[in-house]
Structure 1
Amino acid sequence: MEEAWVSLLSKCSSLKPTKQIHAQICKTGLHTDPLVFGKLLLHCAITISDALHYALRLFHHFPNPDTFMHNTLIRSLSLSQTPLSSLHPFIQLRRQPTLSPDSFTFAFALKAVANSRHLRPGIQLHSQAFRHGFDAHIFVGTTLISMYAECGDSGSARRVFDEMSEPNVVTWNAVLTAAFRCGDVEGAQDVFGCMPVRNLTSWNGMLAGYAKAGELGLARRVFYEMPLRDEVSWSTMIVGELLREEIRTNEVSLTGVLSACAQAGAFEFGKILHGFVEKAGFLYVGSVNNALIDTYSKCGNVAMARLVFQNMPVARSIVSWTSIIAGLAMHGCGEEAIQLFHEMEESGVRPDGITFISLLYACSHSGLVEEGCGLFSKMKNLYGIEPAIEHYGCMVDLYGRAARLQKAYEFICEMPVSPNAIIWRTLLGACSIHGNIEMAELVKARLAEMDPDNSGDHVLLSNVYAVAGKWKDVSSIRRTMTEHSMKKTPGWSMIEIDKVIYGFVAGEKPNEVTEEAHEKLREIMLRLRTEAGYAPQLRSVLHDIEEEEKEDSVSKHSEKLAAAFGIAKLPKGRILRIVKNLRVCGDCHTVMKLISKVYQVEIIVRDRSRFHSFKDGFCSCRDYW
C-alpha cells in the first residue's frame, strides 16, 4: 500500500494533485507513517515548484519528524530566497535528544551558508561538524571548502582541504574552484598541477576560471590541451571570447573563437559560429570571412571553404586568396590551388611570400614537382620575393616526397643560407618514408651536430632501420634514447561527436569510452578480414617482436580507435572527422579505406601535414602522402 501511494506521488507535477493524494493518504491513516510522510514532504519541498509553504505546514504538523525530514527542509530552504532560514530546522534537530545530524544535515546547511555568503554561521557549522566527527567526511569536507570559497575565505578553504586524508577528484575540483573564486589564479594553477587525477570538470574549471579572470590566453591554452571537450567547454570559450563584460562582440573575438574551432577540428561548432556571423552582420568583415575559410578548411570541409570564398560580399584580400589556396593545399588539391593562384594574378592581387609557401606546399602534397619548381623560380624572378627558410623547406619536401632524395640533398647543399635543423629533418622524414638508409645516416649525422637531443630524429632513423630489419641498429638507437631520457611523442587522435571532442591515445589506461572503442574496433577488424581480405601491414610496427604481437599493436593505433568510436556513436550517413597529431601510418591508411568501403561511410582524417578523405575504398591523397 505504501509503495502505491509513493508511486502516485511521483506522477504529480504540481501542488493541486499532490494535495488530493495527501487527502487520500490521510483517509487511509498512512499520514503518520514516516516513510510515506517523508516522501510526501520531499515531493513538496524539492520535486515540485512553489510548494515550500505547504511543506513547512506538513513538517510542523507531523508529531515526531526524523533526521531525514529535517534534512529535507534544510535542503529546500537552502535553495530558497532566504537560505539562512534553513538554520532553524537545523537548530530544532540539534535540540532533539533522540536525533543526531548526519553528513547530509551538515552538507545542506553549509550549502545554505554558501548561498547566503555569511561567514560567521559557516564557522559555527564547521565547529559543529568537527564536534560530531564529520569535518573529515569527504562529502562534508568538500562542502566546507565550497562554503569558505563562496564567503571569500580562501585560507580556510585550503586548510580544510589540507586536513583531508584522502581527497577525491570532486574535492580537488572544489579547492580548484575555491582558488579562482577568491581571485587566486596562481593558487588554482598550483592545485591543477598537483591533481593526481583530472576529469572533464577539472579542465572546465580551469577554463572557466581563466575566462572569468580575463586570462583568455591561458584559457585558450587549456582549451587546446583538453583531452576531451563538451558543450560546457565550448560555451565557456565562446562566452569568454564573445561576451566578456564591457567588451562587445567584434571581429577580433570572432576570429579568435573560429581559430579555436579550426585547431580542434570542431566542424559542428564552426557551423554554429558561421550562423552567428550571418545573423550578427559580420559577413561584411573581411577578416571574419578569412577565418571562416581557414576554419572550414582545417575542419575537413574544403567545399564549404570554397563557398565562403566565392560568396564573400567584400573584396578579397591577399589573406583571403592565400587562405583558400592553403586550404586546397591541405586537401591535396594542387592543380586547383595553382588554378586559383592564376585567377588571383588576373584579379590584380599581388602574391606575397606566404602565398608561395601555400602554393609550394600544395605542389609537394600533390606530386607536382615541375610545377613547384616553376613557381619557386617565378617567386624570385617575376615577383622579386627573396626565398625564406620556409620556402627552401617546401622545396626539400617537394623533392623528398617524390623520392628524389639525392636532388633534395643537393638542393640543401646549394642553398644560399645555412640550412637549419627543420630543413635536414624534412629530408630525414623523406628518407624514412622511402627507406633510404644511406641518406638517412648522412642526414642524421648533420642533425646530431645541430640538435643532438631531439627524440624525433632518433625515431625517424630508427624507423628506417626497422623497415630494413636492422634490429641491432634499432636497439642501439632506442638504448641511446633511454640513456638520454628521450621520449617518443605519443600518438593521439580526436573525433567530434555531438559537439563533444573525444580523445584517444594508443596504450592509454582503459575507461568507459576507450573500452567501447576497443570493443567496436574488434568487430570492425573481424569484418574487414572476412569481407575485404584485410591483412595487417606489420612494417608499421617498428619493434623486433613476434608477428602476433605486431598485429595486436598495429590494430590499436589511436586513429583506428577514433574511427571505431565514431561508427559506434554517429548515425549512419554522418561523416567521421578525425584529427591526428602524427603522420598516418600505412596500415591505418589501408584500414580507413576499407572501412569507408565496407561500412559505406566517409572518413576525413587530418594528420600532421594534410587531409585524407576516404570514400568508397579510395583516398583523396591517391596514396601519395
Structure 2
Amino acid sequence: MRSISPFSRHFSSSNQFGFLLRPLQKTHFPLHSPYSTFTEDVCGTMLDGYPDIKKLKGLHLQIITSPSLSLNLPLSIKLMRAYALLGQVGDARQVFEGVPEKNIIFYNVMIRSYANNHLFGDAIVVYKRMLSDGVLGDNYTYPCVLKACSGSINLVVGVQTHAQIVKVGLILNLFVGNGLIAVYGKCGNLADARKVLEEMPGSDVVSWNSMVAGYAQNGFLEDTLSVCREMELLGIKPDAGTMASLFPVITSTSSNNVSFMEDMFSGLTKKNLISWNVMISMYANNSMPEKAVALFLKMELQGLEPDSITLASVLPACGDLSALYLGRRIHELVNRRKLCPNLSLENALINMYAKCGALSYAREVFDQLKFPDVVSWTSMISAYGISGFGNDAVSLFLRMRNSGYTPDSIAFVSVLSACSHSGLLDEGQNCFKLMVEEYKIKPRLEHYACMVDLFGRAGRLDKAYEFIKNMPVEPNERVWGALLSACRVYSNTDIGVEAADNLFQLVPEQSGYYVLLSNIYAKAGRWQEVTTLRSLMKRKGIKKTPGTSNAELGNKVHTFLAGDQSHPESKSIYQELDVLVGKMKELGYVPESDSTLHDVEDEDKEGHLAVHSEKLAVVFAIINTAPGTTIRVTKNLRICGDCHAAIKLISKITQRDITVRDINRFHHFSSGVCSCGDYW
C-alpha cells in the first residue's frame, strides 16, 4: 500500500463514517447552536483546546454530519488525539477504523493513544498491523512502540522492533535509543541496554535514567548507584527522574550510599514529590527514622502536598520512633483527603499504631478494612503478640483461618512469636505442627528461632538446646541469640557459654552477645570472666551499643542516653527523678544491682541504674505533659530488670499509663502492674 498525504485525499462516499452516527445521534444541539456555522478552522481550534467529553462528542457529531468536514483527514487526526487525551481510546479507535486508507500519521496517533493509556498490548497489535499493511515507521512510531514493549515486558517484540529500527536507519535517533534502553532494562537484558547506551552518539539524562531504572527494576542496588556516579563523572547532572528511577531499590544499604543519595538529592535543581518520597523511603528502610520524619516535616513546610506513597513511607518511621502524635496527624490527613481504601496505606497505619503500642487504634483501622489481606491479618496478630496479648493473637490467627485466608510463613512467624512472648508453650507447639503438617510450609530459620525462644522463655533451656541440635539446617545468630537471651534470664551459665561460643564464630563483631554473656557472668558473680570478656572486646575494638530511649513531645522526638546531661531540661529531669526514687523506696523499691555489669560497690551500682535512659525519658515526659496523659517511650535495647521494676512503681505513684517498647516487645505499665506479667 502506498503512503498518502492526509491533506490531499478526498473520498467519494459520504457514508464512510456512517457507523459513527448511531452512538452520537442522541446529542441535541439548539436550533441556533454555533456548531451550525463550524468551519475546518473553527473545529480545529476547538479540538486543539482540550474540550471535555461532552463538547468533544458534539464536535464529533457536527464533523461527521457536515459534507464539507466529514472527509477532512486533519480533523480526524485531531479527533483521535482529543479522545486519547481524555482516555477514550475506544472512540479514537472508531475514528481510526473509519479511515479506509491510513498513512503513518494515523498509525502513530493510534499507537501513541494506546501506549499513553497503558494499553500496551493494543499498541503492539496496531504496530504489527501497520507493518502488515506495508507502512514503514518513522521517528515518532518507534519510541511509542518501544514504550509499549517495556510496559508489557515484551522482549520478543522489542528485539524485532530493534531490527526494524536498524533497517529504516533510525538507530542513531536519541528518543529511539532511549526507548531501546528502557525495553532491554525493563526486560532484564541489561547487557544489551548498556550496549545501546554506549553506542549512542549523544546520550542525555533520560538515556542514563533509563539505564538507572533498568538496574533498579532488577534489584541491583550497587550497579544502580554506580551508574549514577558514572553520570556525575561524565558531567550529566542527575534530575528528579534519576531519583524516581531509584525507588525500586530503596532498601537497606551502606552509609556511603546513603551519603551519596543525600548529596544527589541536595544537588537537584528541582525536587518533585517523587524525589522527596525516595529519600523518605530510603531513610525509613535504613533504620534512620529520625531523618525520615524530619524530611517529611521539611517537605510539609515547603508546601508540597504528600501523596499516599509519601504517607505509607513515613508511617513506619513514626512507628519506629513511637511518634504517635505525628502518626495520628497523618491518619487525620488520610481521612480528610479520602485516600482510603488503599490497602498499603491502611496496613502502614496498622503497623504504625502497633509499633506505638496503640492497640485500640490499630484494631480500629483493621476492623474498618473492606478487603484485608494476609499482611493486614499478620500485622494485627503481630501487634497483639509484641504487646504480650498472646491469647488475642492466637484467637485472631484462628479467625483468619476460619475466614478463608491461608496463612503464609510470615503469619506463622507472628503467631509463634506471640506465643513465645506470652508463654503459650502448648499453643506455640501446635501452631508449628500446623504449619508443617497441614500447610506444608517448610520451616525457615525465623520459625526455628521462634521455637527456641518459646522454649527458652518458658525456662525449658534443655529442650531449646535439644531443638537446636535436631534442626535440619545450620542455626544462625537469631537461633543462638534466642537461646543466649534465655540463659541470661534463667542464669544458665553452661548452656549460655555454648550459645555465646557459636555466636562469636557467626558474628564476631556483634557487641550485644558479648554483653549478654557478661550479664550471665555478672549475675553469677564471676567477675574475672566479666573482666576477661571486656578485655577481649577492647582488644577487638568492639564497643557496646549505647542504650538510647526516645520520647515524643508535640511534633518532636527527644532522645536520651544513660546518664545524659546534654538535654536542656536535664536539671529538672534529675530533680524529679530524685523525688520519684525517694517515693519508690517508701513503697519498698530496692535497686536490682545485678542489672549492672560493673563489679563495684552496691551504692555505685545504684547510682548507675538510676540514670538509665528509659528512666530519664519517662521522667521527661512526666514533667512536660498534663496529669493523666499516657507516656510512650521507645528503647533500642532490652529493658533491664531494675528499670522494669522502677517504672511499675512510677506508674503507680504518678497514676500514669506508661508504655515502653524495647527491642523485643511492649511493656504497658499501669497502676504498678506490667502487661508482660514480668515474663519477658
| TM, length-normalised to structure 2 | 0.58
Q: 2:393 aligns to what? A: 337
Q: 1:306 aligns to what? A: 363
* Superposed displacement of residue 527, structure 1: 2.0
Residue 558 (str. 1) matches residue 635 (str. 2): no
Q: Which of the residues 391, 407, 416 maps onto 2:472?
A: 416
What is the distance in 1 between the residues matched to 2:376 and 2:494?
43
Q: 1:21 aligns to what? A: none
Distance 1:228 1:379, change over 3 A: closer
What is the distance in 2 between the residues matched to 1:215 and 1:466?
48
3-state SS in 1 of match to 2:569: helix
For 1:420, the aligned partner's letter is N
For 2:673, the aligned partner's letter is F
Distance 1:546 1:299, change over 3 A: same
Distance 1:281 1:230, change over 3 A: closer
Q: Which of the residues 407, 428, 432 maps onto 1:376?
A: 432
Q: Which of the residues 524, 529, 539 maps onto 2:580?
A: 524
Distance 1:564 1:393, change over 3 A: same
* Superposed displacement of residue 452, structure 1: 2.9
Deviations 1:308-356 (A, max 9, x none): 11122x2111111111111111111111111111111111111100000
Judge which range, 438-447 or 268-277, deviates more. 438-447
Matching of residues 90-129 of structure 1 within 5 Å: none
- The 8 Å contact of residues 504 and 514 in structure 1, kept in 2 or not, is answered as no
* Superposed displacement of residue 446, structure 1: 2.1
Q: Which of the residues 553, 559, 580 maps onto 1:503?
A: 559
Q: Which of the residues 392, 395, 401 maps onto 2:448?
A: 392
Residue 315 (str. 1) matches residue 371 (str. 2): yes
Matching of residues 577-596 of structure 1 within 5 Å: 577-596=632-651
3-state SS in 2 of match to 1:613: strand
* Superposed displacement of residue 231, structure 1: 9.1
* Superposed displacement of residue 393, structure 1: 0.6
Stretches of structure 1 that go unaligned for 5 or more consecutive residues are 1-182, 186-204
- The 8 Å contact of residues 597 and 617 in structure 1, kept in 2 or not, is answered as yes
Residue 292 (str. 1) matches residue 349 (str. 2): yes
* Superposed displacement of residue 519, structure 1: 2.2
Deviations 1:125-160 (A, max 9, x none): xxxxxxxxxxxxxxxxxxxxxxxxxxxxxxxxxxxx
What is the distance in 2 between the residues matched to 1:508 and 1:374?
46
* Superposed displacement of residue 509, structure 1: 4.6
- The 8 Å contact of residues 229 and 501 in structure 1, kept in 2 or not, is answered as no
Q: 1:474 aligns to what? A: 530
Higher RCO (CA < 8 A, seq sep 6+): 1
* Superposed displacement of residue 449, structure 1: 2.9
* Superposed displacement of residue 406, structure 1: 0.7
Deviations 1:9-68 (A, max 9, x none): xxxxxxxxxxxxxxxxxxxxxxxxxxxxxxxxxxxxxxxxxxxxxxxxxxxxxxxxxxxx
Q: 1:494 aligns to what? A: 550
Distance 1:587 1:237, change over 3 A: farther
Distance 1:450 1:511, change over 3 A: closer
* Superposed displacement of residue 395, structure 1: 0.5
Q: 1:269 aligns to what? A: 326
3-state SS in 1 of match to 2:340: helix
Q: 2:677 aligns to what? A: 622
- The 8 Å contact of residues 207 and 236 in structure 1, kept in 2 or not, is answered as no
Q: 1:159 aligns to what? A: none
What is the distance in 2 between the residues matched to 1:510 and 1:330?
32
Distance 1:220 1:316, change over 3 A: closer
- The 8 Å contact of residues 207 and 222 in structure 1, kept in 2 or not, is answered as no
* Superposed displacement of residue 382, structure 1: 0.6
Distance 1:499 1:548, change over 3 A: same
Residue 350 (str. 1) matches residue 406 (str. 2): yes
3-state SS in 2 of match to 1:283: coil
Q: 2:496 aligns to what? A: 440
Distance 1:231 1:570, change over 3 A: farther
* Superposed displacement of residue 225, structure 1: 7.1
What is the distance in 1 between the residues matched to 2:458 and 2:637?
20
What is the distance in 2 between the residues matched to 1:591 and 1:377?
40
Q: 2:335 aligns to what? A: 278
* Superposed displacement of residue 243, structure 1: 3.5
Instruction: Tell me which structure has the larger Cα radius of gyration.
Output: 2
Judge which range, 229-238 or 560-569, deviates more. 229-238
Deviations 1:81-130 (A, max 9, x none): xxxxxxxxxxxxxxxxxxxxxxxxxxxxxxxxxxxxxxxxxxxxxxxxxx
Distance 1:496 1:413, change over 3 A: same
Q: 1:533 aligns to what? A: 588
Distance 1:345 1:511, change over 3 A: closer
* Superposed displacement of residue 514, structure 1: 2.8
Distance 1:566 1:206, change over 3 A: farther
* Superposed displacement of residue 552, structure 1: 0.2
Q: 2:597 aligns to what? A: 542
For 2:429, the aligned partner's letter is C
What is the distance in 1 between the residues matched to 2:295 and 2:389?
34
- The 8 Å contact of residues 280 and 293 in structure 2, kept in 1 or not, is answered as no
- The 8 Å contact of residues 579 and 606 in structure 1, kept in 2 or not, is answered as yes
Residue 235 (str. 1) matches residue 300 (str. 2): no
Deviations 1:246-296 (A, max 9, x none): xxx543222112122112111011111111111111221122211111111
Matching of residues 163-174 of structure 1 within 5 Å: none
3-state SS in 2 of match to 1:320: helix
Distance 1:395 1:210, change over 3 A: farther
Stretches of structure 2 that go unaligned for 5 or more consecutive residues are 1-236, 240-261
Q: 1:129 aligns to what? A: none
What is the distance in 2 between the residues matched to 1:226 and 1:447?
26
* Superposed displacement of residue 521, structure 1: 1.2
Matching of residues 196-275 of structure 1 within 5 Å: 209=266, 214=275, 216-219=277-280, 234-236=296-298, 243=304, 249-275=306-332
Calculate percent identity across the aligned residue pairs: 41
Distance 1:600 1:399, change over 3 A: same
What is the distance in 2 between the residues matched to 1:603 and 1:487?
31
What is the distance in 2 between the residues matched to 1:207 and 1:520?
46
For 2:333, the aligned partner's letter is F
Q: 1:425 aligns to what? A: 481
- The 8 Å contact of residues 292 and 314 in structure 2, kept in 1 or not, is answered as no
* Superposed displacement of residue 416, structure 1: 0.8
* Superposed displacement of residue 402, structure 1: 0.7
* Superposed displacement of residue 235, structure 1: 1.6
For 1:274, the aligned partner's letter is H
What is the distance in 1 between the residues matched to 2:386 and 2:652?
23
For 1:311, the aligned partner's letter is Q
3-state SS in 2 of match to 1:578: strand
Q: Which of the residues 571, 579, 593 maps onto 1:515?
A: 571
3-state SS in 1 of match to 2:639: coil
What is the distance in 2 between the residues matched to 1:357 and 1:457?
23
What is the distance in 1 between the residues matched to 2:422 and 2:267?
42
What is the distance in 2 between the residues matched to 1:610 and 1:216?
29
Matching of residues 116-195 of structure 1 within 5 Å: none
3-state SS in 1 of match to 2:559: strand
Q: 2:65 aligns to what? A: none
What is the distance in 1 between the residues matched to 2:425 and 2:468?
16
What is the distance in 1 between the residues matched to 2:447 and 2:570?
41
Runs of 4+ in 1 over 6 A off after TM superposition: 205-208, 223-232
Root-mean-square deviation (CA), in Å? 2.6
3-state SS in 2 of match to 1:604: strand
Q: 2:225 aligns to what? A: none
What is the distance in 1 between the residues matched to 2:520 and 2:307?
50
